[in-house]
Amino acid sequence: MNKISIVIPAYNEVEGIAETLDQVSRVAASLRYDTEILVVDDGSTDGTSEAIPDSFRVIRHARNKGYGAALKTGLLEAEGDVIVILDADLTYPPERIPEMLDHLEFQDMVVGARTGDTVHIPLVRRPAKWILNQLANRVAGERIPDLNSGL
């Protein structure tokens, strides 16, 4: 690993983007690798891009294209040989990034998972999520604890 790219898709995150970037910057500074922080603003209308300091790399979609398109843009534009994806709303703690990078010594890919008692999945979404997870686990040949992970 020579360079780590931390890709942060963002949409209308003006209220929280500064805190997110502050936390991610602290984690990046603690890493023993060159680190790039790349924010993909997916057509925000609330001033998200303007709230991001010039020291960060920002790619802005002219209009909202959706989370998947923001991810694709980030993956294509990232310069690192390792890419970390982190949601802008701090759903996942950036402090876990070093631990995940340590696992790359033995794995080709590491995915964070929301598990434990604090995870809240609305009752109406549980049956569909369960079916989709069962299908994905069968296709992958192993258990995937959080198929929709943003880390």
Q: Do 77 and 148 sit in the same domain of this protein?
A: no
Q: Would you say residue 11 has pLDDT above 80?
A: yes
Statement to judge: residues 20 and 93 lie in one domain: yes
Tens of pLDDT, residue by residue over 33-77, are 999 999 999 999 999 999 999 999 999 999 999 999 999 999 999
Looking at the structure, tell me whether residues 62 and 128 fall in a common domain.
no
DSSP 18-63: HHHHHHHHHHHHHSSSEEEEEEEE-S-SSSTGGGS-TTSEEEE-SS
CATH code of 93's domain: 3.90.550.10
- The tokens describing 61, both together, are 């979609």
Q: How far apart are CA 37 and CA 56, in angstroms?
A: 6
Q: What is the Cα–Cα distance from 64 to 42, expressed in whole angstroms?
A: 5
38 vs 135, residue with greater confidence: 38
Pair 14, 51 in one domain: yes
Residues 11 and 77 both lie in one domain: yes
Closest CA to 83 of 107, 110, 60, 54: 110
- The rounded distance, in Å, linking the Cα atoms of 128 and 140 is 18
- Structural domain count, the chain: 2
Domain carrying residue 130: 114-151
Q: 42 and 95: one domain?
A: yes
Q: Model's pTM, two decimal places?
A: 0.78
Q: H helices then E strands: how many in the chain?
A: 4, 4
Interatomic CA distance for residues 73 and 39, integer angstroms: 10
